[in-house]
Amino acid sequence: MISVAVNGYGTIGKRVADAILKQPDMRLIGVAKTSPNYEAFIAHRKGIKIYVPQQSIKKFEESGIPVAGTIEDLVKASDIVVDTTPNGVGAQYKPIYQQFQRNAIFQGGEKAEVADISFSALCNYDEALGKKYIRVVSCNTTALLRTICTINKVTKVEKVRATIVRRAADQKEVKKGPINSLVPDPATVPSHHAKDVNSVIKNLDIVTMAVIAPTTLMHMHFINITLKDKVEKKDVLSVLENSPRIVLISSKYDAEATAELVEVARDLKRERNDIPEVMVFDDSVYVKDNEVMLMYAVHQESIVVPENVDAIRASTRLMSAEDSIRITNESLGILK
Ligand code: NAD
């Protein structure tokens, strides 16, 4: 049993904490929160122990939320910390993880240098085995890497050009926009996503462009891949069909808009309407000689959750990639 702490209980942290509770080989020690807001109240109601900064103990107790200890106590009580604090805050916590000699999993909002390796379960699990500090790449990069590493199984991927239509905010974020505009992210090429993919696949020729759209539900990617050799469409569809964490959506279901995909998650009674799989529109897969084009949707709030669970197993050398991906998928109800 590996003892896990989650530092930062927001969009990603609450999902990772719930995922840890479902793993047969992991125990959730508790979560760290800085303010006694609704997320802290709900964690407490679920029976999750809450650790806070020393100076916040009084504030939490006055709000009726019992405190199990300080964030340092949480780190000390765990074998590994999943740091899901906001962008850049994880790097500030690294000295504490180092002081107590604890392994840590960081998120894509941190610079790649914060960790020994940037991680995508389908691409480089084996390279991450035993690494003390692992960074799970961002939601968009996770989707790009899953797709690229899967298509690479047909024949070598030589070049990738991708356009990312990115959601403006998560559903709970009331102060973010835009609400009436498409905003290049940024209006220069490449966007940072290409560099992030290169943090995992070092020498890949990849250029990305991104635009922010006024939606909260999902991102959508339009991707153009050049392969070393000519391929058949059926072979591309077959690897996508057989890959874990990628789902091919048939046009016969009439679910092409992100709102419809989220409705499917609601109808399936998925927790929080989450969709951790990359949702590829099967009719979008276009193959000409050595060129492959496709479109897929990415649920930003949940796609990195299974990756965090696998990163814990890789860091602590608990098991092989295949076994970890299978157990994570089964425990989280991921379609395959
Ligand atoms: P969030 O703002 O929803 O959650 C962050 C949590 O950390 C909040 O509960 C906040 O109260 C807490 N926090 C703030 N300062 C803290 C501190 N000093 N110590 C402990 N806790 C603190 O953020 P998020 O969206 O969950 O993002 C977390 C990380 O995950 C970021 O690196 C982000 O880039 C990455 N990420 C986010 C998404 C997404 O769509 N939201 C997707 C993939 C990766």
pLDDT tens per residue across span 138-184: 999 999 999 999 999 999 999 999 999 999 999 999 999 999 999 99
Cis preceding-peptide flag for 66 (omega within 30 of 0): no
pLDDT over 90 at 31, yes or no: yes
Q: Is the CB of 243 under 6 A from ligand 1?
A: no
Q: Is the CB of 86 under 6 A from ligand 1?
A: yes
Q: Is the CB of 298 under 6 A from ligand 1?
A: no
Up-side HSE of residue 23: CA atoms within 13 Å toward CB?
28
- How far is it, in rounded angstroms, from Cα 63 to Cα 104? 30
Q: Which amino acid is at 217?
A: L
| pTM flag (> 0.80) | yes
Distance 86 CA to ligand 1 centre (A): 4
Q: Is the CB of 138 under 6 A from ligand 1?
A: yes
> Which pLDDT belongs to residue 161?
98
pLDDT over 90 at 336, yes or no: no
> Which residue has a Cα nearest atom 25 of ligand 1?
11
Q: In this structure, how many other beta carbons lie within 10 angstroms of the beta carbon of residue 134?
A: 27
Six token digits for residue 118: 């940037």
pLDDT over 90 at 22, yes or no: yes
Point out the residues that are catalytic. Answer: 139
ipTM of this complex prediction, to 2 decimal places = 0.99
> Which residue has a Cα nearest atom 39 of ligand 1?
301
Q: Which atom of ligand 1 is nearest to the CA of 87?
A: 32
Distance 35 CA to ligand 1 centre (A): 13
Q: What are the φ and ψ backbone dihedral angles of 332, each rounded to 5 degrees?
A: -100, 0
Q: Is the CB of 308 under 6 A from ligand 1?
A: no
Distance 170 CA to ligand 1 centre (A): 11
